[in-house]
Structures are given as C-alpha cells and as structure tokens.
Structure 1
Amino acid sequence: MNRKLAVAEPFLTERHRKMIRETAEKKGFEVRIMDSPEEDRNFLNEAEVIFGQAPETAKVSTALKWICTPFAGVDKFLAEDAFANPEAMLSNSSGAYGVTIAEHTVMMLLDILRRQPEYRQIVAAHEWRRDLLVRSIKGSRITLLGTGDIGQETAVRLRAFSPACLTGVNQSGKNPGGCFDRILTREQWETVLPETDVLLMSLPGTKETFHMVGEKQLSLLPDGAVIINVGRGTVIDQEKLIRELKAGRLYAGLDVFEKEPLTKDDPVWELPNLLITPHTAGNMTLMHTVDRITEMFLADLERYCRGEKPDHLVDRKKGY
C-alpha cells in the first residue's frame, strides 16, 4: 500500500500544487490535492501526512503521523483529545507571515496616526478639511509584545521611521536579530507601559497570554496611546479595551477579536477610535506568503522522509 499524503488548502496555485505533488511522489507518496477536507474524507482519514487545516481528521485518524497547518496559529489542535494518534506530530507555518503582517501593522499605525478614518468620512461627505492634528512614528516610544518573525519584521520596518525607542518583550530576554533597542521579559514588561506611545501585539493564543493586556495594563498606558493587535484576540481583555475606547482615552487597530467573525450588529463596529480589519493581516492573499508556506512545508517534508522532525514542530503543551 502506498503512503498517502493529502493536501487540503484552497489558496495554493497550480504551481504550488505541482511542486508539492512532484516532491511527494518522488518520496513514494500517493498524493491527493483538494480544496477542502470535505472533498475526500476517506483519503484524509488514511493519510500519513496532511498539509492543511484539518482538525476534524486529526481527531479521528489513527493513520496520521504528521499534520502541517498552513497557518501560524494552532488553537484548534491544542485540546487533549485533538489527536487520535497521540504520537502524531503537529507543525505550523510560523515564519511565513512576517512580511505581510508587518506591512499590515505599519499600515494600521499610519492610518491611525494620520487620522485617515476621520479623513475618509470627511472625503465621503465631499468636504474639504485639512485641520485634523496628526502624529508621527518619528519619536514615538514603541513596545512590541512578541519578537518572533512578525515582531522582527515589524521592528525592521518601523526603524526606518526613526522612533524614539523599540522595546521588545519575550520570554527569553534575548534580542533576536538585534532588531530592538532593549528587551524585557514577561516579568518586567509592565514597567514600560507608562512610557509606551504605541503597543503592538503579535502573540499566540495560549494560557499564558490570555488577557495579558487587561484593565491594569491598559490603565498604565498614557492618554492617546495606540494599541494594535495582529496576533490573537484573546491576548486583550476586549471588554476593558472597549471601555477605554468609549472614554476616548486610547486608540486601537484590531485585526483579531475574542470572538470571530463579528456579527453585523456587534457594537464594536461603531466604537470611536477603533480601526477594524477582518483578520486579514496574515491572510494568504499575498503570493509571497503562499510561496514561503510551500517552501517551508517541502523542506520539512524532506526532513520527515529522512526520519527527522520538522523544523517548525509545535509543542502542543506550550501552544507554539
């Protein structure tokens, strides 16, 4: 019986699908490529390797030995009963999204500082106004929660705007790539909040990061501070943030929320000082991202076939 490899990812182009098929077949796999898991459940349940977001299959398949999700987040694979085969490996595509999310973060920050949401309303009303006071990244004190691929790519881009300081926050206390002016650990990070003009978040959703930014942390930020979250919505206590936004004390740009999608009647849509994007920062609509995801999977497939573990292996207990 041939070893089976299933690909269930609709964003892949024919070029990417061909690359995966040719590489996997050379390794002796029977390959089935589909746009969604529903196309061929039987093949999925028999697959040794799956490239795609298929948590339902992982939960029932005893044949599965490795699943690679094309996303960075692995929330759907962290429950105790997430894998029918407890020895199955989980890898993600963290490291592929830095460019697109960093650019999205800079876009949101400039949009807020340059008052573009208000100016779009002014232009929509066919008015000619030029009097809104704007702010600059230059001279801003910026704190980044998360110094992984996304945090580093964001720091590199922000450096060109001459901020006063780029402070990174992580668990190790190390300065990856030398991208930051200083690094604080999770035990120290709250001390920098009163000196933070811009708080950027690109953290995974874990037990340790749940509501890491809550009422206390929000209260420590100076008036007019900007918060941007492109990681996981659970990192912020959304109820407490809403209260600050209603009071007009803070500004925020949110690409992620505690519950998604937002319903049409959710009052969050109408919040003042809030810029919303519908979880598009890390979408696979940028071809560079799709290229990187495919390259990373194929490199890990080579390792897997040599009997090695994938480079992007996830520790399911830690959640990343």
Structure 2
Amino acid sequence: MAPEVRDALFDDETLTLLTQVADTDPALVVTDFHDPAVAPALARAEALLTGWECPPLDARALELMPRLRTVVHAAGSVKHHITDACWQRGITVASAAGANAVPVAEYTVAMVLLAGKGVLPAAAAYRAKRTWISPIDTIGRGGNYRRTVGVVGASRIGRRVIELLRPYDLEVLLYDPYVDTEQAAELQVRTVDLDVLARSSDVVTIHAPQLPSTHHLFDAQQLSRMPDGATLINTARGSLVDTEALTAELVSGRLNAVLDVTHPEVLPASSPLYELPNVLLTPHVAGSLGNELTRMARAAVDELARYAAGLPFADPVRPDALARSA
C-alpha cells in the first residue's frame, strides 16, 4: 500500500495489535514488488497485508514471494490487485469489505430518510424564497410513513441497508437475480424485477457491483419508469447509471438524486448536476473515511489473527463469488 494509506488506516493501538499478531515491521511499506530493497522481506513473507494502491499480484510478482500463503486486504474490493495467479497458487484472500459496508449503509439510510422527508426540494425552496414556507404546500408528498424503498443488490452493503431500515415504517423491495425466495424471507423483503422496483419505489438505492451486465442498469427507459418526484441514490459505481439520461431527468426536475459516485468521476465542470437544487453530489465519501478507516484496519488485523490461529477467515474472498461482486 502507499505510505499515506498506512498512516491513515493504522493508529498506534492497531499497529501494536498487528505486531502482537505477526512478525512484521510496521515501518516497512511496499509500493513496488520489484524494488530490490524489499526483496528479502518479500522472500520471507507468508502473509501480505494490503491496502489501496497495492500493485497487482501477478505471476511475476508472486515469483518473488515463494512462501506467500495468504493476502488480507484492509479495504473493500480486491479486484485491483488479486489476479488469477493468486488463485492458481492456492493463496487465500480476505478483505475488510464488511467493515467498509457499515459507513456506506449508514450514509445510504441517512439519505433515504432525508429523501423521503423531501429535504432537497424543501431546502431549495427555502433558499430561494428566504421566507416562511408551509411544509404542506412545499413538500406535500414528503414524509417517510409507508414509503417504498427499492434496494438494488443484496450485497454486503445492500443487506446492511435493509437491516438498518427495518425499524422504520417503510416497505422495502429488493431486486437481485441471485436472491431466492428463502433468502428474501430471511431478509424480510419482497423481491421484484427491476421494472417493478423502478415503477413502485419512492426512493431507489443502488448497491450492485460493476459488471458488464450491470452497465447502465438504470438507463433512460428504467429511469422513465420511476415516479415523478422519486429519488435515485447511487453509492455503488457511476457506470451503473446512464449519466446523460439521468441528467436529462434531473434538469427537467422530474426526479431527485443523491450521487456519491458518477460516471465519469469526476463530472466535467460544465455539468449542470453541480448546481441543480434537486441533486446532492458528494465526492465518494460514503465509504470509510477519517476514524472509520481504523475499523477496516482492525478487521484486517483480526483476520490475520484468525489465520495465525489456524482458523478460517470471517470474511473470505472466494474466486467464484468475486466474479459477481464489487
């Protein structure tokens, strides 16, 4: 990982825990597997603790690590550095994706409730008029009582969102082609196809992975199915939404949006989405940041402790599931 990533992830207490679990030098941060200065350490390494900006673990890199048996990633997705060569070597992999899911789900639930309350149009109207505004006149459709929330994707984050929404008087719909009736019952949601979810939801929140099959999952046709005044929340990947089609809907004022990710990321400076009163743009902050990063580091150290004790990982990454995960 990059040195600044190490510094952001690990506080002193977590570094102490790491040295109790593993024979390691916390000051040694590898940014290039082919740097001669780190060759002796890599040759001895049984485990790698990785983070953002880890170089790809391809066959050439793995040749430098003959003793490597496991990789623990102190962040979410491992797709940037875990290659087929790792699986061919039988290397086990774990990640802190479950820990990173927590703040994303919390952000999402906050935005679902604000969207249901009609906060975006209310704030815009108040800012424009700068005088008393009757909530009944301004946001007559607002309120979270018996609203319908459509969750797209029963990923770690999607499942956490569903769990956090249970205390509220909301109906939750789920679209996920991999969730069967029994799993839906466990999640306490009703599964529907994507068309029905789009037509029926006051708020749609996207938690599906970026795959060829999910590219522009919400295109012009799907967006047109959403009810007038509905809100689209995207904390997954920007490419899951057709930006041009969404921009047209938002400029018209028919829909609202909360976008923590966009495509492209960052949007051009000329994009109207920066200024529209019915859009909340945030710069990819739903995931772990600040002191939340320590949660991911702790999760990674816990996984290393399990490995050292000969126990299975609590949150393993499996090659068959990786193909349809973030």
Scaled by the length of structure 1, the TM-score of the pair is: 0.79
Deviates more, 1:92-101 or 1:170-179: 170-179
- Cα pair distance change 1:96/1:177, threshold 3 Å: farther
In the TM superposition, 1:37-186 aligns within 5 A as 37=31, 42-43=37-38, 46=42, 47=45, 48-56=47-55, 58-59=57-58, 61-62=61-62, 63=65, 65-77=69-81, 87=89, 88-117=91-120, 120=123, 127-131=130-134, 132-133=138-139, 135-163=142-170, 165-170=171-176, 171-173=178-180, 174-175=182-183, 178-184=186-192
Note if 1:250 corresponds to 2:258: no
Q: 1:256·1:278 contact (CA, 8 Å) conserved in 2?
A: yes
Range with greater deviation from structure 2 (248-257 or 89-98) = 89-98
Paired residues of 1:197 and 1:226 also in contact (CA < 8 A): yes
**TM superposition shift of 1:263:** 4.8
Higher share of residues assigned helix: 2
Aligned residue runs from structure 1 range 220-259, under 5 A? 220-259=225-264
In structure 1, distance between residues paired with 2:298 and 2:325: 23
- Give the Å deviation of 1:281: 0.9
Give ranges in structure 1 of 5+ residues lacking alignment. 1-5
Taking only aligned residues, the RMSD between alpha carbons, in angstroms, comes to 3.4
How far the C-alpha of 1:277 sits from its partner, in A, is: 1.3
Give distance in 1, aligned partners of 2:305 and 2:16: 16
Please tell me whether the aligned partners of residues 168 and 180 of structure 1 are also in contact (alpha carbons under 8 angstroms): no
CA positional deviation for 1:72: 2.1
The alpha-carbon deviation at position 118 of structure 1 amounts to 5.0
Contact 2:117 2:144 (C-alpha < 8 Å) held by counterparts: no
How many residue pairs end up in the alignment?
303
Residue in structure 2 matching 1:31, options 16, 25, 28 = 25
> CA shift at 1:77, angstroms?
3.5
The verdict on how the C-alpha distance between 1:253 and 1:110 changes in structure 2, with shifts beyond 3 A counting, is: same
The answer on whether the counterparts of 1:256 and 1:279 sit within 8 Å (CA) in structure 2 is yes
Identity %: 22
How far apart, in 1, do the equivalents of 2:213 and 2:259 lie?
Answer: 20
Looking at structure 1, the residues matched to 110 and 29 of structure 2 have their Cα atoms a distance apart, in angstroms, of 31
1:13 to 3, 8, 11: 11
How far apart are residue 307 of structure 1 and its match? Answer: 6.2
Q: CA deviation at 1:181?
A: 2.8
Q: Which has the higher contact order (CA 8 A, sep 6+)?
A: 2
